[in-house]
Amino acid sequence: MNPTLHVTFCGRTFTAQEVELMRTVAQDYAGLGVTEIARTICELLEWKRPSGGLKNPECRAGAAALGRERSAPRGISQQRLEPEPVECLERECEPLELALVEGPAESRLWREHVERYHYLGCRVPFGANLRYWVRNRDRELACLLWTSPAWKMQARDAWIGWSDERRQCNLQWIVNHGRFLILPWVRVKGLASKILALIARQLPHDWQARYGHRPVLLETLVDATVDATRFRGTCYRAANWIHIGQTTGRGRMDREHENHGRAIKDIYVYPLVRDARQRLCTDPTR
């Protein structure tokens, strides 16, 4: 590793030696849970808040994952037989159930599916989040992840028309669609847009029940540079999401206005209320 390399994450700059220490701890103690690994790293590096508490959530989100970049998450089996293919008309998959992921066993299976079958894998989400199963008569069809929104996106912020101050106050009223995985053995035309229509009705209730406020706007990023034949945002357009522009290639948490070589992505939004933009520019509770 280049000894002059530095990595800045969540307000702290880590040296190459510190990054290597994180990797070593995560690899050598892979049998522990990610929370315990994060606690250990925070203690070794004295990564603390001004109050003295360890920065466990930040470490879980990034540093602890360094040693696991190319390995399956803890508890994920290396081999699993795929279910029988699901090939039918959309109406034959009804009724669809959107179920929150609950309990260790469900969480482990959900993570396994996303890690194995989603091209971006499974990462610890930033901030608030909800995970869903999409089921039909106890058959898993899809996995969904909803998270806190991107900190800044020029096209989104311009579309809303808010100032930096208003953005910081009202960002919590947006929810980001972080992962959308139709399981590979499920081949049902029109299923994705059907799921998006259902989740737009259910998510606001679930988010309010979990976090105490009801979102007014959904957002997602579609990476068309990976495979233009697969990632064209077709299901979002079919579900009446609005294409409002593209990202600049920065990461979700970038505050240094630097391009880190990330793929440029299409931005789609879905207003959950008719006057979403006006509310986000004033007070969403009104």
The string of pLDDT tens digits covering residues 203-232 is 999 999 999 999 999 999 987 665 444 567
How close are the terminal C-alpha atoms of the chain, in Å? Answer: 53
250-277 pLDDT, tens digit each: 554 444 444 444 678 899 999 999 999 9
- Which DSSP string do the residues of 81-107 spell out, in sequence order? PPPPPEE--GGGGPSPEEEE--HHHHH
Bigger pLDDT: 31 vs 184: 184
Structure tokens of 233?
């945002």
Place of tokens 């508490």: 53
Most confident residue range from 57-66, 179-188, 203-212: 203-212
What's the whole-number mean pLDDT along residues 154-169? 92
3-state secondary structure of 230: coil
Q: Which of 43-57, 72-86, 171-185, 223-237 has the lowest mean pLDDT?
A: 72-86
Share of the chain above pLDDT 70, in %: 77
Structure tokens of 50?
């001004």
Degrees, nearest 5: CA angle 122-128-129: 45
pLDDT of residue 62: 63
Query: Which amino acid is located at 52 in the chain?
Result: G
Q: Looking at the predicted structure, is the pLDDT value of residue 25 above 80?
A: no
**Residue 73: alpha-carbon gap to chain centroid:** 16
pLDDT of residue 93: 78
Q: Looking at the predicted structure, is the pLDDT value of residue 54 above 80?
A: no
- As a whole number, the mean pLDDT across the chain is 80
Where does the pLDDT of residue 2 fall: very low under 50, low under 70, confident under 90, or very high at 90 and above? low
Q: Which of 92-96, 168-172, 208-212 has the lowest mean pLDDT?
A: 92-96
3-state secondary structure of 26: helix
pLDDT of residue 257: 43
List the CATH code of the domain at 86-281.
Answer: 3.40.630.30
Residues in the chain: 286
C-alpha neighbours within 13 Å on the C-beta side of residue 128: 19
Please report the beta strands in the chain, taking only residues with DSSP state E, as ranges in sequence order: 6-9, 12-15, 86-87, 97-100, 129-136, 139-147, 174-182, 186-187, 217-222, 242-246, 266-271
This prediction has a pTM of 0.68
Hey, where are the domains in the chain?
A: 6-68, 86-281
3-state secondary structure of 207: helix
Bridge-partner residues for 9, per DSSP?
12
CB 176 within 8 A of CB 150: yes
What's the whole-number mean pLDDT along residues 82-88? 73
